[in-house]
Amino acid sequence: MINDEKNSNKMMALGVDTGGTFTDFFLIDGARCRIHKVLSTPHAPEQAILQGLKDLGLQRLMASGELLIIHGSTVATNAALQRKGVRTVFITNRGFGDMLTLARQNRPDIYALEPSGHPPPVPETLCLEVDCRRDANGDIVTSLDEREIARVVDQVEALRPKAVAINFLFSYLAAADERAIAERLQQSYFVSCSSEVLPEYKEYERGIATWLNAWLGPVVNDYMVRLQEAVSPCPLGVMQSSGGTIDAAQAGRRAVNLLLSGPAGGLAAARHIGEALGKSRLLTFDMGGTSTDVSLIDGDILLSTQGRIGPYPVAVPMVDIHTIGAGGGSLAYVDEGGMLHVGPESAGASPGPACYGLGGNTAAVTDANVVLGLIRPEHFLGGRMQLDAEAARASLRRLGETLGVDEVEVALGVIALANEHMVSALRVISIQRGYDPKDFELCCFGGAGGLHVCALAEELGCGRIIVPASGGVLSAVGMLAAPRKRNFSHTVQQDLEQIDLAGLKKQFAALLERGRDELLSEGVTEDIVEACGVDMRYKGQSFTLNIAFSDDIVQLSEAFHFAHQQRYGHQLPLPIELVNIRVQLTAVSAFGGLPVSAGEDATGEPYGSDILPHHGRVALWERSDLPVEVAIPGPAIICEEVSTTFVGEKWQVTCDRFGHLRLEEDHNG
């Protein structure tokens, strides 16, 4: 269980976020907080976690079970992107075995004469067809008999898979056929049924979600088991892609719901901070070592059912995040035409950027920041990790020889390119969706975010920036701030004018009861907030808009027309169709508040200054020495254990009473 009233008050809590380069830790002990970073161990992520627990001196608490751990994992994401899922059989109706291979026939580049193809999700030899069928009402057309079940079970056994995905047509209306086969297989294999993973229409999207859950499930489940055994008897929770946590024992069966586990933690923390500051509209910018995640919070975290992982759609609810391959470890190179590029390939944790001294010799964004003096080697990870500044200069010097410039000019070019990639991503989730960045505060976090945030804000016209306390490990902070949450959905597909309200309410009640049961099984005793929504569209459309449910049909219709006008700029004189129902159940986080405040021993003085290329003389500050509520003009470098913030020439920074840095353009400077 994640929560136990008897011992929750005396427990310490640890948030852990495993990233591609670093594994971050945020520990709360009463009113005190501690932060820590270690290099990730991608081959066995639990090793980095155990190393961090040892570094923090938590072995005794682990042994006594008095440490609550909530974890954001990249295991599912990495396994999917690297195609390291397990051997999986896909079972569907006769005639539909190539469903996942045919997909939607969309081309990523419609003008490419020879588009690059992707291997089919499931090889043809692992796609099995069953002679059974139901119609669009869920009624039997061809019944599933015992002989057919025995035949397909024999086929599965002959193929020797580790997992099985079952996806029958209209299973969201009648799941009996899927369950009949699953019951015969689940003792020997990891089995996923589409009627449980995603009980919605669109057989391809439902099939991909079910296959992903089965393909990744044993990998995730094995990892969860190893981690649970390693930290036992401590309670262990896991962040879901929807921005809420779930008990690790349940998470192992829901791999497809963990694909954005880590990034969702950062958004949970950003929303928590925004509420504390009275700022409900945030553009978030999370720059780590391998990638950058950007998102938008408009009162609440926005969820999407149109996410993707690699080439595959992921129709389960997940935080609406746009990710690009631009991070501190993004590698710079010169192409055959003499053009400088940055990313998406990353140096990762090993060998890492050249300055890590672990064998890497290709210049990365981190090396450029070292050469420009923005990363101070003596402060990196609080001085625990020594950086090789000369190796960074050498890596950029080699690029400069190709381009005919020195290492400083190359470093400036690398930073400019990385910034442009990130600005483009921020425009995608704001301007391209009808939001003006000027109406939002830019909230940056991640170990590398603070170094670039002023330049990005200037490009976007964003005049206010928040750099949260513990921003270098904010996704780990978010593990403790996130609520426990469940999201469920079901396709109903009814014309709004002919809707069966009584039947609809019964279906909502069934989904809500399922969510309450799962949360209660985790020890939730506090009030559970329940929200019901419906996906609606004009009849004949392919895409839907989610509307808060109301049993007043006129009000529901008006809300949809308004939402369509807001999103697309027009309304249509067409009948409205209700497609899916959705419920969300939210309870408080497994841990309470986040005790974060500015240091009381601040000296109010910089520890020095330096003359940097392109910036001139820059004041050097320890973040803990910043006076509270005193504006400090840029340019300035603010160092802390897990990140660095560069305050540009046009900006001033104030440390507020919570310990957050609030940057505003300095119009008097």
Is beta strand 321-324 parallel, antiparallel or unpaired with respect to 318-319?
Answer: unpaired
Domain end among 556, 587, 618: 587
Q: Are residues 197 and 232 in the same domain?
A: no
**Residue 20 pLDDT exceeds 80:** no
CA 41, 46, 50: angle at the middle one, nearest 5?
Answer: 100
Binned at pLDDT 50, 70 and 90, residue 306 comes out as confident
Domain end among 587, 608, 632: 587
**Residue 598 pLDDT exceeds 70:** no
Q: Does residue 136 sit within a domain?
A: yes
**Residue 3 pLDDT exceeds 70:** no
Which pLDDT does position 601 carry in this prediction? Answer: 63
Q: Does residue 514 sit within a domain?
A: yes
Mean pLDDT, range 100-127, rounded to an integer: 85
Q: Are residues 126 and 187 in the same domain?
A: yes
What's the structural domain count of the chain? 3
**Residue 93 pLDDT exceeds 80:** yes
- Looking up residue 505, the CATH number of its domain turns out to be 3.30.1490
Q: Are residues 228 and 212 in the same domain?
A: no
3-class DSSP state of 448:
coil
Which pLDDT does position 325 carry in this prediction? Answer: 80
3-class DSSP state of 375:
coil
**Residue 444 pLDDT exceeds 90:** yes
Q: Does residue 203 sit within a domain?
A: yes
- Sheet architecture: strand order including 644-647: 608-612, 616-622, 636-639, 644-647
Q: Are residues 188 and 109 in the same domain?
A: yes
CA 578, 582, 585: angle at the middle one, nearest 5?
Answer: 155
CA 304, 307, 312: angle at the middle one, nearest 5?
Answer: 155
Neighbours of 439 (CB within 10 A): 11
Instruction: Tell me how far apart the terminal alpha carbons of the chain are, to the nearest angstrom.
Output: 54
Distances (CA, A) of 517 to 109, 486, 511, 512: 45, 10, 10, 9
Residue for token digits 């890590």?
356
Q: Are 288 and 20 contacting, i.e. CB atoms less than 8 angstroms apart? A: yes
Q: Are residues 151 and 190 in the same domain?
A: yes
Q: What is the pTM of this model?
A: 0.84
Which pLDDT does position 323 carry in this prediction? Answer: 82
Task: Determine the structural domain holding residue 530 and report its residue range.
Answer: 484-587
Domain end among 572, 587, 602: 587
Q: Are 239 and 262 contacting, i.e. CB atoms less than 8 angstroms apart? A: yes
Mean pLDDT, range 198-214, rounded to an integer: 96
For 349-451, strand residue ranges (E) read 441-445
3-class DSSP state of 80:
helix
Q: Which residue has the higher pLDDT, 12 or 426?
A: 426
In angstroms, the CA 548 to CA 556 distance is: 8
Beta bridge partners of 330: 346
Q: Are residues 172 and 157 in the same domain?
A: yes
Which pLDDT does position 6 carry in this prediction? Answer: 35
Residue type, 142: T
Q: What's the distance, CA 69 to chain centroid?
A: 18
Q: Does residue 392 sit within a domain?
A: no
Q: Are residues 101 and 61 in the same domain?
A: no
Q: Does residue 653 sit within a domain?
A: no
**Residue 117 pLDDT exceeds 80:** no
Is beta strand 576-587 parallel, antiparallel or unpaired with respect to 190-193?
Answer: unpaired
- Looking up residue 232, the CATH number of its domain turns out to be 3.30.420.40
**Residue 459 pLDDT exceeds 80:** yes
Highest mean pLDDT among 200-209, 356-365, 603-612: 200-209
**Residue 596 pLDDT exceeds 70:** no
Which pLDDT does position 29 carry in this prediction? Answer: 81
Q: Are residues 144 and 193 in the same domain?
A: yes
Q: Does residue 76 sit within a domain?
A: yes
Q: Are residues 194 and 98 in the same domain?
A: yes
Q: Which residue has the higher pLDDT, 653 or 351?
A: 653
Which pLDDT does position 597 carry in this prediction? Answer: 55
In angstroms, the CA 428 to CA 437 distance is: 11
Which pLDDT does position 648 carry in this prediction? Answer: 94
Which pLDDT does position 116 carry in this prediction? Answer: 72
pLDDT in tens, 489-527: 999 999 999 999 999 999 999 999 999 999 998 888 778
Which pLDDT does position 138 carry in this prediction? Answer: 94
Binned at pLDDT 50, 70 and 90, residue 2 comes out as very low
User: How high is the mean pLDDT of the chain?
Assistant: 89
**Residue 615 pLDDT exceeds 80:** yes
Q: Are residues 189 and 124 in the same domain?
A: yes
Burial 166-189 (b: 16+ CB within 10 A, else e): bbbbbbbbbbebbbbbbebbeeeb
Q: Are 312 and 208 contacting, i.e. CB atoms less than 8 angstroms apart? A: yes
**Residue 95 pLDDT exceeds 90:** yes
Q: Are residues 497 and 571 in the same domain?
A: yes
In angstroms, the CA 190 to CA 468 distance is: 41
Binned at pLDDT 50, 70 and 90, residue 7 comes out as very low
Binned at pLDDT 50, 70 and 90, residue 669 comes out as low
Percentage, residues of the chain above pLDDT 70:
96
Mean pLDDT, range 615-627, rounded to an integer: 92
Which pLDDT does position 8 carry in this prediction? Answer: 41
Q: Are residues 92 and 210 in the same domain?
A: yes
**Residue 617 pLDDT exceeds 90:** yes
Q: Are 454 and 417 contacting, i.e. CB atoms less than 8 angstroms apart? A: no
Q: Does residue 366 sit within a domain?
A: no
Q: Does residue 279 sit within a domain?
A: no
